Amino acid sequence: MFKVAVLPGDGIGPEVVKEGMKVLKVLAENHSVQFDFQEMDINSERYLRTGKLLTAEDVEQLKKFDTIYLGAVGDDRVKPGVLEKGILLALRFQFDQFINHRPAPMWKPFGRLKRDMDFNIDVFRENTEDYYVGAGGRVQEGHGKLNLEIKRNLYDMRVQLQADADAKDEFAFEIGMMSRKNIERFADFSLTYAKMIGEKKITVIDKANVCSNIYGLWRDVWSEKCKHANVELSYMYVDAMTMALVKNPDKFRVIAAPNMFGDIITDLLAEVTGGLGMAPGGNINPKGISMFEPVHGSAPKYKGMNTINPIATILAAKLMLDNLGRRDLGDIINRGVRTALDQGVYTHDLGGKATTSEMGDAVVAAIRRG
Ligand code: IPM
Ligand code: MG
């Protein structure tokens, strides 16, 4: 029995999560697996009503589960950053989900490239550091002191920043930070995955030609780890990488990226491979509680319309099962999705007419037929 905390979240989150749960429930019918789903209202509605984001009680509650299944977080009525940092990033950091695994296989015939190409990329995005640490602030009149704190499982760091400029201007800082131990465990995980799929090469992204401190440490660790693991390493600057992913994505198999660049290239890759409607992600803590969600956001303007593609969220359930040690079931979901698409059932974003729930039903039917 897997205990699954379900966080439908905001916007179209509840609609797509519902389809994902349908698919999981059909597996429980005849595949020797059981799920105990429990929904929690960690979302914008609760925030607007009570002012609560992710609370200490939520965290305690979530610790009782095997895994977390998330829809999407984000609401136009709330200032950008509040829900994202207060809920989504807070969950990733609290549960020390330092890997974000975002598979990007070409979903034929839905790819958006001019050339017909076949490829299958796995992106590993570092998920708790980089420019996402939330350490920053603004100083007025050229002067100011910032007392910053970065709290993670691996460390609790205080950073003091004293700014004194000779110009009476307003300045803003956003500190990017990485730690050796975190890069090491992230590299270990990515390299173990590469080996598991029989891949002997990895492409590592950064901008070490400009941010040479933060990505200097990043490169030191990657060079050591790849040498040790006997994996061929190529570095790519992120700007060149965006071009390469459009020009010849078939040259890549496993890609590792720092948090912010990983965020950017996974949206790009989602579009290349079939659109955001097809792209799932797993926020993984190999020794803790992981969380699975679509790469897309809450798309508030489509809320309640039953038109959004639920496949990204259904495939997030596949990643969840892989992570829970049931790859066999993950494969069944993948095949179910492929079969439903091959039968011509697909949503608006893919050029079809199916509704969100019809898409979910088609996957369920395909799984039932085996
Ligand atoms: C993602 C999203 C988030 C991120 C936002 C909503 C904070 O874009 O999961 O890719 O930047 O990680
Ligand atoms: Mg993103």
Q: Quick: pLDDT tens for 10-36.
A: 999 999 999 999 999 999 998 889 999
- Which atom of ligand 1 is nearest to 281's Cα? 9
Nearest ligand atom owner, CA of 281: 1
Question: How does strand 156-164 pair with strand 2-9?
Answer: unpaired
DSSP state of 76: T
Q: Are 23 and 363 in contact (CB under 8 A)?
A: yes
Q: Report the separation in Å between the CA atom of 19 and the middle of ligand 1, taken as the mean of its atom positions.
A: 22
Q: Separation of 178 CA from ligand 1 center, angstroms?
A: 18
In whole angstroms, what is the distance from residue 175 CA to residue 123 CA?
24
What are the residue ranges spanned by the domains of the chain?
1-98+286-370, 112-129+179-273, 131-177
Residue bearing the CA closest to ligand 1, atom 7: 84
Report residue 155's pLDDT band, with 50, 70 and 90 as the boundaries.
Answer: very high
Question: What is the overall mean pLDDT for the chain?
Answer: 97
47-61 confidence digits (pLDDT tens)? 999 999 999 999 999
Residues at CB less than 6 angstroms from ligand 1: 84, 88-89, 263, 295, 297
Residue with CA closest to ligand 1 atom 5: 84
Lowest mean pLDDT among 25-34, 182-191, 361-370: 25-34
Question: Which tens digit of pLDDT belongs to each residue from 289-344?
Answer: 999 999 999 999 999 999 999 999 999 999 999 999 999 999 999 999 999 999 99
- Judge contact between 334 and 278, C-beta under 8 A: no
User: Cα(166) to centroid of ligand 1, in Å?
Assistant: 36
C-alpha span between 361 and 57 (Å, rounded): 36
Tell me which of 3.40.50.800, 2.60.40.730, 3.40.35.10, 3.40.228.10 is the CATH number of domain 112-129+179-273.
Answer: 3.40.35.10
The yes/no answer on whether domain 1-98+286-370 falls in CATH 3.40.718.10 is yes
341-348 mean pLDDT:
97
pLDDT at 31 (0 to 100): 80
Alpha carbon distance 244, 237 (integer Å): 10
pLDDT (0 to 100) of residue 30: 81
- Point out the ligand nearest to the CA of residue 267: 2
Tokens 């890609």: give the residue: 255
Q: What's the CA-to-centroid distance between 17 and ligand 1, angstroms?
A: 18
Three-state SS at 139: strand
The answer to whether the pTM exceeds 0.85 is: yes
Residue 108, pLDDT above cutoff 90: yes
Contact between 262 and 123 (Cβ < 8 Å): yes
